[in-house]
Amino acid sequence: MNTCDVAIIGAGPYGLSAAAHLRTVKGLEFRVFGEPMSFWDRNMPAGMRLRSGWSATHIADPHSSFTLEAYQSVSGNRFAAPVPLDQFVQYGLWYQRQAAPDLDQRMITRVESDPKGFRLTLQDGEIVNSRRVIVACGIRPFAWRPPEFQSLSFPFVTHTSEHRDFGKLAGKRVLVIGSGQSALESAALLYEAGAEVEVIARSHRIHWLQGWASKTLHRRLGKFTARVLYAPTDVGPAGISQLMARPDLLRRLPRELQDKLRKRSVRPAGARWLMERLQEVPIRLGRSVVSVAQAGERVNIRLDDGSERTANHVLLGTGFRVDVSKYEFLASDLVQSIRRFNGYPWLKEGLETSVPGLHILGAPATWSFGPLMQFVSGTGYASNALIRCIAGKVPALKGSRSLVVDSTNEWRMLPRLW
């Protein structure tokens, strides 16, 4: 019979990191399914750069062997932060060849409960039985389209995750909706590709990351103090960053406080290096869209101040809203068995759902383990938590960059600045 102990569905950063860590567990039979780095390669625009800093862009592995520096050394490619998307994809593909060389690129079409665990159906009809299933399928199904735009679709309205080449919109008038990194960087890329661009956002201001205040703080207080205030995972402002890097501590806080800290850490914002590239792009703040209508080959938008805009295309930089029921490969009865809150799975230790043996990594784990799970830098915590659950402990590996915090003694190490 075609069986294994663990099946990993997804071959992006979280799935690949989980595979690298599972290889440290002797006697464990696991398989990884999916196309490597497919979302990053197909659903993000060419020319994009990663917002996270260098230390937060490594995909975690147990020996710290598969770092960006290691990839640069063997490939001869030289780049610095902000890391170009194409180089990150190539880094991920190199990581996959090291950590999951036996990757099965067939898609999983269905996952069902089974008396001995789970029954997986592959795209060609093959059946695999596994005691555990790790879902690491990313955010592709969760792209958010505000209700005002539901009636229109391609070629008039698209989401930022539906584009690879903005050159196709050269010479067109494009309205970009949103004030976060995706919206702002897409606006810059569209303008540089030759489109006429305008950004419209409900926010009354753009929050720029790594601004003059943090640079001044780093310069005045020095590298040591900066390291105390900011965790290398690069999620959250001063002080709060250290707590966001420690999900086991964060989840002990009252729920209301967790939610406030999460919103403070991942509010819509843009990298400061985008400011210069957007100088010629008009940005209309504090405005909401009240109606959208097709007008021949164009789109007409009316704003809440009564003004109107007409464009060839509307690009939604409106982010993602997690709803695990949108993972279509999960059988409906299995989804109904997963305890959820507003679409997020309610996860316990090891990022395990209320269905024993079913784990969900990445952005869907945000509600249970904090915003670190939305970023590549969360792969270290997620993979180590998984190993603790499956093998009972994390192997003591010299030089590992993976951050593991599971003791209340760590409270005394956190600066009391938030």
**What CATH code is carried by the domain that includes residue 172?**
3.50.50.60
Shared domain for 70 and 96, answered yes or no, is yes
Domain endpoint, select from 294, 316, 338: 316
Using left for φ > 0, alpha for ψ between -120 and 50, and beta otherwise, residue 45 falls in beta
Structural domains counted in the chain: 2
Q: Does some domain include residue 259?
A: no
> Which pLDDT score, from 0 to 100, does residue 279 have?
97
Shared domain for 300 and 153, answered yes or no, is yes
> Which pLDDT score, from 0 to 100, does residue 133 have?
98
31 contacts: CB under 8 Å, gap ≥ 6: 4, 6, 7, 8, 102, 104, 128, 130
> Which pLDDT score, from 0 to 100, does residue 410 have?
37
Shared domain for 132 and 155, answered yes or no, is no
Q: Does some domain include residue 232?
A: no
Distance CA 263, CA 251 (A): 15
Shared domain for 161 and 66, answered yes or no, is no
DSSP string, 242-254: HHHT-HHHHTTS-
DSSP code for 320: B
Shared domain for 297 and 188, answered yes or no, is yes
Domain endpoint, select from 248, 282, 316: 316
Shared domain for 137 and 77, answered yes or no, is yes
The alpha carbon of 169 is separated from its chain's Cα centroid by a whole number of angstroms, namely: 26
Contact 324, 364 (CB under 8 A): yes
Shared domain for 40 and 154, answered yes or no, is no
Shared domain for 42 and 107, answered yes or no, is yes
Q: Does some domain include residue 254?
A: no
> What spatial distance separates the first Cα and last Cα of the chain, rounded to whole Å?
54
Shared domain for 15 and 161, answered yes or no, is no
Shared domain for 92 and 39, answered yes or no, is yes
Q: Does some domain include residue 243?
A: no
Q: Does some domain include residue 355?
A: yes
Shared domain for 203 and 310, answered yes or no, is yes
Shared domain for 154 and 300, answered yes or no, is yes
Containing domain of residue 403, as a range?
3-142+322-413
> Which pLDDT score, from 0 to 100, does residue 417 have?
30
Q: Does some domain include residue 224?
A: no
Q: Does some domain include residue 106?
A: yes
Q: Does some domain include residue 250?
A: no
- Tokens 């806080």 correspond to 253
pLDDT one digit per residue (tens) for the chain, 418 residues: 599 999 999 999 999 999 999 999 999 999 999 999 999 999 999 999 999 999 999 999 999 999 999 999 999 999 999 999 999 999 999 999 999 999 999 999 999 999 999 999 999 999 999 999 999 999 999 999 999 998 888 889 999 999 999 999 999 999 999 999 999 999 999 999 999 999 999 999 999 986 444 555 555 656 666 778 889 999 999 889 999 999 999 999 999 999 999 999 999 999 999 999 999 999 999 999 999 999 999 999 999 999 999 999 999 999 999 999 999 999 999 999 999 999 999 999 999 999 999 999 999 999 999 999 999 999 999 999 999 999 875 444 334 444 333 333 333 333 333 3
Contact 8, 134 (CB under 8 A): yes
DSSP string, 106-143: PPEEEEEEETTEEEEEETTS-EEEEEEEEE---SGGGB
Domain endpoint, select from 253, 284, 316: 316
Contact 95, 89 (CB under 8 A): no
